Amino acid sequence: MTKHAANHQVFPYKGSVVVPQDTVTLTFSSDNTMAGTTNITYSSNHDGTINFYRDPNHYQDERYLTDPTWVKEESQKLLDSVKTIQIPITFDSQAAQIISKIQVK
């Protein structure tokens, strides 16, 4: 888990738009390889909902390094794809057990 302050870049490349609120990124790997890794970023609305979007797993497109205009467009698309999700409180005790095992970077 990684915490990001408000106004951090969506992508770590020149031209990226910024996320206006604090976010948390969770990284999971099904097989301890980059190919099996999923990155999920969310921000809390402090009302039982989160704003959720899925980050790319890889930045393999050369345009990330060479085309800031394209980076701006792609990062805006990702920011615009945010979905609001209701977080149920049914399993709070189980969630607390999982949370206690999360490593914050």
Give the model confidence (pLDDT) of 15-57 as tens digits: 999 999 999 988 877 777 766 677 888 999 988 899 998 777 6
CB burial of 24-55 (b: ≥16 within 10 Å; e: otherwise) equals beeeeeeeeeeeeeeeebbbeeeeeebbbbee
If one counts every other C-beta atom within 10 angstroms of the C-beta of residue 89, the result is 8
* Assigned domain for 50 exists: yes
Q: How many domains does the chain have?
A: 1
Q: Is residue 30 part of a domain?
A: yes
Q: Which amino acid, one-letter code, is at 50?
A: I
For residues 13, 14, 17, 22, the Cα torsion angle rounded to the nearest 10 degrees is 50
Asked whether residue 105 is domain-assigned, the answer is no
pTM above threshold 0.75: no
Question: Rounded to an integer, what distance in angstroms lies between the CA atom of residue 9 and that of residue 76?
Answer: 10
